[in-house]
């Protein structure tokens, strides 16, 4: 009988091109600039910050549906982008939260009984994040998060 167990430890995957990154720090230290240094970066900006830089950037995203429209286009359309930069992920999360509330007629996700609201936010967030490129065949994603 053939064994399905590994014979030895596998070497770690250290290829940055296959990673999803989160850049986190205080405001004004250069997170957006760092994101612009990644190969063939496309910015999905959720707040001002890229207009004084020479980068490929979609118009500022102001709601979850627009973010999903761009993410769908990234997966569907031909392009040369290797890195997708979400700047900032905190603002995007707030948009996801607002979308779930609006979709369900709630003022707050706590209005969903027994934690249902938070599960819906988690589900919507997971769908959106899983549509971002991950892995060598699809590129990398880089999210920028600012400390309060």
Which ranges of 6-148 does DSSP label H, i.e. alpha helix?
31-36, 64-76, 89-104, 116-131
Q: Per-residue pLDDT for 24 more than 90?
A: no
> Is 47 among the domain residues?
yes
Give percent of the chain above pLDDT 90: 46
> Is 41 among the domain residues?
yes
**Token output for 134:** 């991950």
The pLDDT tens digits for 40-60 are: 899 999 988 888 899 999 999
Q: Which residue range(s) make up the domain with 97?
A: 18-146
Q: Is the dihedral of CA 98, 99, 103, 109 positive or negative?
A: negative
The span from the CA of 111 to the CA of 8, in Å, is 50
> Is 4 among the domain residues?
no
> Is 2 among the domain residues?
no
**Token output for 75:** 């997966």
> Is 140 among the domain residues?
yes
The span from the CA of 60 to the CA of 55, in Å, is 13
CATH code for position 58: 3.40.50.300
Helix (H, G, I), strand (E, B) or coil at 18: helix
Domain count, the chain: 1
> Is 7 among the domain residues?
no
> Is 3 among the domain residues?
no
């Amino acid at each position: 009988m053939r064994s399905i167990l590994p014979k030895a430890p596998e070497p770690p995957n250290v290829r940055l091109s296959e990673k999803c990154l989160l850049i986190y720090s205080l405001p004004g230290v250069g997170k957006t600039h760092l994101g612009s240094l990644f190969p063939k970066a496309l910015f999905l900006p959720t707040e001002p910050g890229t207009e004084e830089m020479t980068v490929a950037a979609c118009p500022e995203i102001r709601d979850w549906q627009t973010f999903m429209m761009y993410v769908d286009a990234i997966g569907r359309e031909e392009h040369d982008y290797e890195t997708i930069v979400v700047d900032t992920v905190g603002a995007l999360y707030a948009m996801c939260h607002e979308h779930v509330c609006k979709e369900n007629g709630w003022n707050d996700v706590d209005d969903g009984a027994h934690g249902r609201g938070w599960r819906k936010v988690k589900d919507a967030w997971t769908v959106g994040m899983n549509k971002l490129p991950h892995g060598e065949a699809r590129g990398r994603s880089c999210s920028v998060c600012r400390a309060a």
